Chain A
Amino acid sequence: MNTKPKKKMSARQKSEFIWGWIFILPTMLGLIVLNIYPMIDTVIQSFYKTGDFGKGNVFVGLKNYEKVLGDAEVWQALWNTIKYAIVEVPVSVVIALLLAVLLNKKLKGRSAFRTIFFLPMVVAPAAIAMVWKWLYNSNFGLINNLLHIKVNWISNPQIAIYSIAVIGIWSVLGYNMVLFLAGLQEVPKDYYEAAEIDGANGFNKLMHITVPLISPTIFFVIVTRIIGAMQVFDLIYMMIDLNNPAWKKTESLVFLFYKYSFEQSKKGYGATVVVVLLVVILILTVIQLIGQKKWVHYE
C-alpha cells in the first residue's frame, strides 16, 4: 500500500527532472557560451598582453593592472564617468519623483504626459545625440540662439561632460518616472488624508509620507541608474569628435574600453579596463546596499 504512491511520486519527480533540464537547456547553453565563458575569458585576458601581428598573447601577470593604476587617461576617464553619474542620477531621480507625484493625481491628460515624458526611451541614443549636438551647436544651435548666449556646450572641456549629462537626464527622466508611478500606486491614500487633517503641506507630505513609503523603489532606481550611468558610452561617442578639445575631459571608462579593445586592438588592456569598471560598479553597489539600512523602509 505504501510503496505504490511513493513509486508514483518518483516517476513524477523523474519526469520533472528530465523535462526541467530539457526546458532550461537552450537558455543555459546560451548563457554559458555567451556570458559565463566570456566573463571568465575577459578576466583571463586582462592578465595578457595582446600579441602584435599575429604573435600569440603574452602572459604579463598583473602588469596590465599596474599600468591601469598608473594610467592618467584611465583615472581621468573614471573621474569623467563619475562626474557624469553624479549629475545624471540625482537630478533625473529628483525630477522624475516630483513628476511622478504630480502625475499620481486624477488629472486630465495624465496618460498623454506620461507618453511624452517616456518618448526618449524608444529612440536610439545615436539619433538623440545627433539632435542634441545640433541643439548645442555654439554658432547655429537652437539653445544659444534662443537664449542669446554663446556657450561652447560640448567643446568647452570644463562643461562638456555636464552638457552630456543633461542629455542623459532628458533621456531617462520618463523611465524613472514610470517606475516611481508604479511605486506610488501602492501608497494608501488614507496616509495623506490623515496628514492633511494634521495640517501638513505638500512638501511635508512628500518628505514624510511619499519618500519613506516608496523608498524601496527609490533605492532600486538609484542602484540601477548608477550602474547604467557608469556604463555611459553612446552619448559620449556620438557627441565628441576626435578633434573636440573636450575629448580628454569627456571620455568615459566604457569609451576607453571600446577604444583600446576595438580601435587599437589592445584587447588585453581593454579587458583590464572593463574589469576595473566591474569592480568600481561592484563597490558602488555594495556601499549602497550597506547604506540603505539607514533610509530604506521595507514593510
Chain B
Amino acid sequence: MKKKIISNTIIYLILIFVSVTMLVPFLWMFLTAFKTVAETMQVDPFVIIPRVWQTQNFGNVIKAMDFVRLYANTLGMVGLRILFAVLTATLSGYAFARLHFKGKNAMFALVLLQMMIPVQIFIIPQYVMVSKLHLTNTIMGLVFPGVVSAFGTFLLRQAYLQLPKDLEEAARLDGCNIPQTFLFVMAPLTKSAMVALGIFTAVFAYKDLMWPMIVCPDNRATTLASALAKMNGQYQQKYPELMMAALISCVPMIILYIIFQKQFIEGIATSGSKL
C-alpha cells in the first residue's frame, strides 16, 4: 500500500511537471501580451507579472493588423473547406465502401497515393493554376487545394465499412434506390466521422502557413497564420504586441478545443499520417 502511494506520487509529479512544461509557453504568451516593452526588456529584477496590465496593447494590435478581416478570411477558408471536404468525401466514401463497380480499386489506389505523398509536391502547379484563374488574394484561392480530401474519403469509407449490411438491405427491400439509401439511411449514421473530418480539416487549414503565404501575400486577404508570420518579421523587438497578436489568433481555437476536446482529439488523432 505504501509502495503504491509512493509510486502514485511519482506519477503525479511527472504528469504535473509535463503539464507545466506544456502550459508555461501559453502563460508566458498571455503575460507578455499585457506588459510594456520596457518590462519585457528588464532583467534585474526579471518581470513575470505585468505591474500594470497594458490592456491597450489589444487595441494597438487590432489597429495595426486588421484582425476582423483576418478572422473572416480564415473562417471563410475553413468553412468552405469543411463544406467541400465533407460533401465530396461522404459521397465517395460511401461508394468506395458500399458499391461495387468497375474501376473502383484503381480509383481508390489514387486516393491512397495522394495520402502518402508529401504535399509540397503539389504546391508549385497548384499555385500556377490559382494564379492563372486569377484567384490569388481571394478566399477561393485559399480554399483551392482543399476542395476535395483524400484523407476524408478514406475516413468516411472506414465509417461506412463499419455499418451493418442489413440496414442497407432493408432499405433496398423497402424500395429505396441507391441515392435514397445513401441519403436517408446510411449518411445520417456517419455523423461522427463527418464531425471528425470537419475538425481535422478546420485545424489543419487554420494551422497551415505555406499555402496562404504563397497565394495570399496581401495582408488584407490572408489568414491568421500567415499574417502572424509577416508580423513576426516586422515587429522585431516589440514582444508585447507580438504576443498579443499570437494570443488573439489562438485563443478562440483553444476555447473551442476545451469545449469539444473529445471530438478534437479524436478528429485529429484519426488522421495519422497527415501532419
Chain B residues proximal to chain A, CB less than 8 Å? 7-8, 11-12, 14-15, 18-19, 21-26, 28-29, 32, 40-43, 46, 87-89, 91-92, 94-96, 99-104, 107, 110-111, 113-114, 117-127, 129, 144-145, 147-150, 153, 177-179, 182, 203, 206-207, 209-210, 213-214, 224-226, 228-229, 232-233, 239, 242-243, 245-246, 249-250, 253-254, 256-258, 261, 264-265, 268-269, 272-273, 275
Contact = CB atoms under 8 A, between A and B. Distances in A.
A287 interface: no
Interface size class of A (residues with CB under 8 A): 35 or more
Contact of A19 (B178, B253, B265): B178
Contacts of B119: 231
Contacts of A123: 207, 250, 253-254
B28 A119 contact: no
B91 A17 contact: no
Contacts of A33: 129
Contact of A142 (B28, B249, B264, B269): B28
A244 to B, nearest CB: 12
B23 to A, nearest CB: 6
Given A107-B11, A261-B123, A131 B28 contact: yes
A114 B257 CA distance: 12
A224 B65 CA distance: 36
Contacts of B14: 99, 102
A41 B126 CA distance: 10
Nearest to B226: A126
A172 B92 CA distance: 31
A241 B232 CA distance: 9
Contact of B125 (A42, A178, A238): A42
Interface in A271-299: 271, 274-275, 277-278, 281
20 contacts: A17-B102, A23-B99, A24-B96, A27-B92, A27-B153, A31-B110, A38-B125, A39-B121, A42-B124, A115-B265, A116-B19, A117-B19, A128-B25, A130-B242, A131-B26, A134-B243, A142-B24, A179-B269, A202-B7, A274-B120
